[in-house]
Amino acid sequence: MTEAKYQPETLALRAGTERSQFHEHSEALYLTSSFVFDNAEQAAKRFIGEEPGNIYSRFTNPTVTMFEERLAALEGAEQCVATASGMSAILSACMGLLKAGDHVVASQSLFGSTVNLFNNVLKKFGVETTFVSATDVAQWQAAVRPNTKLFFLETPSNPLTEISDIAAIAAVAKSANALLAVDNCFCTPVLQRPLQLGADIVIHSATKYIDGQGRVLGGAVLGSKKLMEPVYGFLRTTGPTMSAFNAWVFLKGIETLKLRMEAHSANALQLALWLEQQPNVARVFYPGLPSHPQHALALKQQKTGGGIVAFEVKGGKAAAWKVIDNTKMLSITANLGDTKTTITHPATTTHARISPEARAAAGISDGLIRIAVGLEALVDIQNDLARGL
């Protein structure tokens, strides 16, 4: 199935499907470590790439391939490389495309583990990173060096939902002969397609909305075949592989992705409006609100505001923990993208391992709470928060 022929809703159900000799209707789950060849010559040809086909599930598996092709169709990418988790997707992209001596310009508004990857892991291999504002394009331009090879951002950002101007930053990256990678985890291709806006690479933590029910881990890197070749080469050699079972779960998740993202977004907007009216809430961060600093940009490059709402309560950490601890229905967990609403305190969970200075630069205060709004009745979510507020 080709993107040009079918609408996204159809691609989410049909793209990438390959049937075996049994002509199954639902996608088959291939639980096998290796594949048998017809003869020695076929094995030799497959190992050196002269003949397509499955070899070993570390880097070729039909179920994983179906997931890769379906997500690529939705993102409008030539190729997808599936990985074991969202963080392994970022690692695979960086290790495949960067080398010692290269320089990265990254948003300072990133998931805490992503910051640690750039600061603590890639730095050991000679890759230096400069962190800049997610929203000030001039800072991206000013940070460029002769050895800058990659721009990296997530939009909306985690957890403050800052919106980066993908097209403008892509133009800066192009002028610097650098690649732009966009973490599209919060929006998914249903709400935002970074490649259409000029990005070179899209990153996903499939663990989040693509699964949608908090069941399994997975990640994905998407882009042109040329760019994905070294990423796939890194995965083939080092093995941060998506399991066939997880890929099968993600295929089922993609089928309902559009419906879920629309429902998440509708609930999130109404919750954000309600939170703005609460006297103990100092500020609400949600791209769908007119009060959001990048509201106009969000309307331009996203279909809706998404399902993540952050808000700052008066009284700092003690007040934030009071809100969280008084909930009875919401799940106190740092995961997001689930049908069930989750709530967390970013300063002591998702961003606890970065320095206080880095948290302050990213705007993550002790009073900040992040909610991944689920599909429960809105009034029940509101009532659960109201006790602590």
Q: How far apart are CA 25 and CA 2, in angstroms?
A: 19
Q: Smallest Cα–Cα separation from 132: which of 145, 117, 142? A: 142
Q: Over the chain (389 residues), what is each successive 10-residue block's mean pLDDT? A: 78 91 88 97 95 95 97 98 98 98 96 93 98 98 98 96 98 98 98 98 98 97 98 98 98 97 98 98 98 97 98 97 97 96 95 83 91 97 96
Q: What is the structure's pLDDT at 21?
A: 78
pLDDT of residue 20: 84
Full set of structural domains in the chain with CATH? 8-255 (3.40.640.10), 257-388 (3.90.1150.10)
Measured CA to CA in angstroms, residue 117 lies from 56, 135, 205 at distances of 29, 22, 15
CA separation for the pair 72, 81 (Å, rounded):
9
- Where are any strands of DSSP class E within 38-178? 79-83, 103-107, 128-132, 148-154
Backbone angles phi, psi at 65, to 5 degrees: -60, -40
Sign of CA dihedral 334, 291, 376, 257: negative
The pLDDT assigned to 239 comes to: 97
> Hey, is 364 helix, strand or coil?
coil
Is residue 334 within 8 A of residue 113, CB to CB? The reply is no
Using the Cα atoms of residue 252, residue 76, residue 161 and residue 288 in order, give the sign of their dihedral. negative
| Structure token pair of residue 261 | 């993202």
β-pair type (331-332, 219-223): unpaired
In this prediction, residue 1 carries a pLDDT of: 59
Query: Nearest CA to 220 among 200, 241, 237?
Result: 241
Please state the pTM of the whole predicted model.
0.94
- Count CB atoms within 10 A of the CB of residue 124: 9
Residue 237, both tokens: 């050699």
What are the tokens at 246?
Answer: 């997880």
